[in-house]
Amino acid sequence: MKNIYVGNLPYQTSEEELRTTFAGYGDVASVKIIMDRVSGQSKGFGFVEMTDDGHAAEAIKNLDGSEVGGRNLRVSEARPREAQPPRENRW
């Protein structure tokens, strides 16, 4: 299972559209577009998880730099999340 970072997404891209884009390269396990908590709008990036590492590598190779909705996608293997310190209340 490989997790893929997809950046520079057009803000109107849906998770289903992103799934369809990657499904042409293999089985897509999950898709998540990151949304702003306050506005509910897309932040312009997301993650795609593919079940086969070879298919994921092919998708990364072919989709990085490709144009979607007038924007060139940035596609790469996702880095693991770093542990974040607890946030203080800002009240």
pTM: 0.86
Residue type, 81: R
User: Which residues have C-beta within 8 Å of that of residue 62, sequence separation ≥ 6?
Assistant: 25
C-alpha distances (whole Å) from 90 to each of 42, 62, 83, 87 are: 24, 43, 20, 9
Q: Which domains does the chain have, with CATH numbers?
A: 2-46+55-69 (3.30.70.330)
Residues 38-78 have pLDDT tens digits of 999 999 999 999 999 999 999 999 999 999 989 999 999 99
CA dist., res. 68 & res. 41, Å (int): 18
State the alpha helices, DSSP H only, in the chain: 15-23, 53-63
Confidence of residue 88 (pLDDT cuts 50, 70, 90): confident
